[in-house]
Amino acid sequence: QLIFPDMVEGMVLLNIDPCGKGWIDWAATKLSGLTSSLPDTVLSHLCSQEELMNNTELVQSLRQQIGANVNQSNLQLFWNMYNSRRDLEMNRPGTVANAKTLQCPVMLVVGDNSPAEEGVVECNSKLDPTQTTFLKMADSGGLPQTTQPGKLTEAFKYFLQGMGYMASASMTRLARSRTASLTSASSVDGHRPRICTQTNSSDSVGQVTQNISHTMEVSC
């Protein structure tokens, strides 16, 4: 999207980290690779320590899938490539001269107990606040698409509606919503009014407002 902005209309980024590994992270990865198997190393990246200790059923299922269904040579190559990635060269508009960032509506998703939370917060700081929704999934770790699929699907519907799609789709209320749930976006040509769908509690009904001009952090 940074290179061909006209080819992408919107993005949902799950556990995104815009920064490459530092020397300390690189050394820690090397050490863990000497003492842990590749599936366990990947699991420690996907899941929080709390999940690894307490959600044994999920962790065991993921370990079996990674070990049995994934080509280990290809996984090792992918893991090496991921660890050698460079920083995404983007900055929030106005922070530096000639700043480049994602120009389409973006929804950032992370669990409130995810090891990727710091990276997602950093990514949020590099995006245009008028185009960005930051969704933090409550009671979720590194895999909100697995532990909270219903809430994530609902948030995705709101995101698409904010972009002008699925206008007639029926919406259910986000259960156990802790704070205002907001979804905002703009049109392909950049002129569609921003739309916000708000859910204040599990008993409230979504209401539509317009012209929200700041980054929105959501917990649900």
Q: What is the CATH number of domain 1-19+90-172?
A: 3.40.50.1820
In the chain, domain spans: 1-19+90-172, 20-86
pLDDT at 58 over 60: yes
For residues 107 and 124, is the Cβ–Cβ distance under 8 A? no
Give the predicted TM-score (pTM) of the model: 0.70
**Span 73-81, average pLDDT:** 91
Between the CA of residue 88 and those of 32, 42, 101, what are the distances in Å? Answer: 25, 22, 9
More confident residue, 180 or 17: 17
Q: Which residues pair with 111 in a beta bridge?
A: 137
Query: What confidence score (pLDDT) does residue 180 get?
Result: 35
More confident residue, 174 or 62: 62
Q: Which band of pLDDT confidence, cut at 50, 70 and 90, is reported for residue 75?
A: very high
More confident residue, 107 or 189: 107
62-70 long-range contacts, CB within 8 A, separation 24+: 62/143, 63/39, 66/38, 66/39, 66/42, 67/39
